[in-house]
Amino acid sequence: MNHSPFSFAFLQGAITPTHIAEIVQQNAAMLTLGAHSLFLGQVRADEKENGSITAIEYTCYAEMATAQIQKIITLHSTQYALKSVFIYHSIGTVAIGEICLCVAVGAAHRKEAIEACQSIVESIKKEVPIWGREIINESTSIWKTNHFSSSQ
Amino acid sequence: MNHSPFSFAFLQGAITPTHIAEIVQQNAAMLTLGAHSLFLGQVRADEKENGSITAIEYTCYAEMATAQIQKIITLHSTQYALKSVFIYHSIGTVAIGEICLCVAVGAAHRKEAIEACQSIVESIKKEVPIWGREIINESTSIWKTNHFSSSQ
Amino acid sequence: MNRHKIIAFGIIAEKIGKTEFYLENIATTQALKEKLYNQYPFLQTLTFSIAIDHEILQEELTLEENQEIALLPPFSGG
Amino acid sequence: MNRHKIIAFGIIAEKIGKTEFYLENIATTQALKEKLYNQYPFLQTLTFSIAIDHEILQEELTLEENQEIALLPPFSGG
């Protein structure tokens, strides 16, 4: 695990509860930090036309995605005076019931932590070149769509 | 740990990263859950007139606090169609850098999870009879004040 | 003659030096407050709530036997 | 003669059946789009962005040698 309090990594497969505990542990070392706000995205067994989703397969444009997330971290850290930002996103296959995204923000006070965490999640979904393919069964899959798409 | 997905407990002393991981693990069993929003409150080493805070000692009116938190859980679960709500609050001494509050909310979608989590945190601070005494050193302490107080 | 047990928390318990005490012959919440202000004048300058059986007092009430009366300074959980 | 490598992702890579290909003699982003629409008509009905060296194209540009050109369907991370 990276020991900078502002870090991002792609993880192969699901993000585990142990990863989350490690992030929480890192924030606990910071004595001016009063609030953690965490968002975890989890793969849902949604019903589609040909059956229900069993997993999502994530691919990304790695160099650009990393650069975009670093920009998002820098922007929010400054704007909200954050003490820490840890972001994990899964690459590859994540089964239903498993976690594919973790955004963990630390700040002195709750308002900054909560607002920054929410804004970072929205930015990741809008601005970062990652794609999810929803797997229905062996022969069927659907490209996932977020509630908004890039404005370009 | 309680196996209902809507539960509250007072914990003696600090809430640990392991407690957080257990909550995350419980949500991962729910296949219609797509979003976790967590808020963790941590004791800060704030500077006061006579020195800096070293710990907070929490006391509560246990029966009323439990009843109030159950009401808060029921109200939010219905209003936001939540899949899970786990709340822990510390009682007794929590040192700086340690966690004293965990609110973890699970919902199908991120909007409901994030809004409900934030609203539950505000409700706990406003409506639940818990008091924190900020310990400065062996002879000095200050009763903690939240940014708002009960409207009564 | 009625007799009510009053429980106190936080800075109120600290200032009065105990977490519970008894008051006699208080028929209403108004009478309760008068007696409290008289016995513990610092309460006049402190913000606090009164809970009757775990419910914050919103309007004046007649007190009944065996009710749990609690004096609550501003909450500071979280 | 210039020659540009184009990389494709997600549904675009799936539909064209490869993740990279080359285009020749494209001097501007307008020429790039014309050639793409001509070669892969489905792109005319698909929402997508073009990134030049990791920056989403906001206005038409002159293309230079060794730029990384990427075709990006709507993002669906998270």
* pLDDT tens, residue by residue, C67-76: 999 999 999 9
Token look-up 């936001």 returns B80
Do A149 and A129 touch, CB atoms closer than 8 A? no
How many structural domains does chain B have? 1
* Closest by Cβ to C75, choosing from B41, B101, B126: B126
Of A117, A37, A91, A84, nearest to B20 by C-alpha is A37
Query: Residue A66 falls within a domain, yes or no?
Result: yes
Do A85 and A104 touch, CB atoms closer than 8 A? yes
Q: What pLDDT, on the 0 to 100 scale, is given for residue B138? A: 75
Q: DSSP E strands: which ranges in chain B?
A: 6-12, 35-42, 47-48, 51-52, 55-60, 84-95, 99-107, 130-137, 140-143
Q: What percent of chain B clears pLDDT 90, i.e. is strictly above it? A: 86
Report the CATH number that the domain containing residue A137 is assigned in CATH. Answer: 3.90.1170.40
Distance, in Å, from the CA atom of A88 to the CA atom of D78, rounded to the nearest integer, reads 10
Query: Residue A42 falls within a domain, yes or no?
Result: yes
Distance, in Å, from the CA atom of D61 to the CA atom of A56, rounded to the nearest integer, reads 36
ipTM score: 0.93
Average pLDDT value for residue range D32-36: 97
Distance, in Å, from the CA atom of D10 to the CA atom of D76, rounded to the nearest integer, reads 10
Q: Work out the burial of residue D59: count CB atoms within 10 Å of its CB; fewer than 13 is exposed, 13-18 middle, 19 or more buried.
A: exposed
Residues of chain A contacting B121 with CB distance shorter than 8 Å:
110, 114
Query: Residue D78 falls within a domain, yes or no?
Result: no
Query: Residue A148 falls within a domain, yes or no?
Result: no
How many structural domains does chain C have? 1
C40 phi and psi, to 5 degrees?
-130, 80
pTM of the predicted structure, to 2 decimals: 0.94
Which residues 61-90 on chain A approach chain B with CB closer than 8 angstroms? Answer: none
Residues B119-150: tens digit of each pLDDT = 999 999 999 999 999 999 878 899 998 875 33
Do A82 and A106 touch, CB atoms closer than 8 A? yes
Report the Cα D72 to chain-centroid distance in Å. 8
Query: Residue A138 falls within a domain, yes or no?
Result: yes
Which domain covers residue C13, as residue numbers? 3-72
CA distance to partner chain C, nearest, from residue B59 (Å): 7
Residues of chain A contacting B41 with CB distance shorter than 8 Å:
34-35, 110
> Between these two residues, A150 and B46, which has the higher pLDDT value?
B46
Q: What pLDDT, on the 0 to 100 scale, is given for residue A147? A: 73
Query: Residue C23 falls within a domain, yes or no?
Result: yes
* Closest by Cβ to C74, choosing from B64, B124, B145: B145
Residues A79-129: tens digit of each pLDDT = 999 999 999 999 999 999 999 999 999 999 999 999 999 999 999 999 999
Which domain covers residue B87, as residue numbers? 13-143
Report the CATH number that the domain containing residue D47 is assigned in CATH. Answer: 3.10.20.30
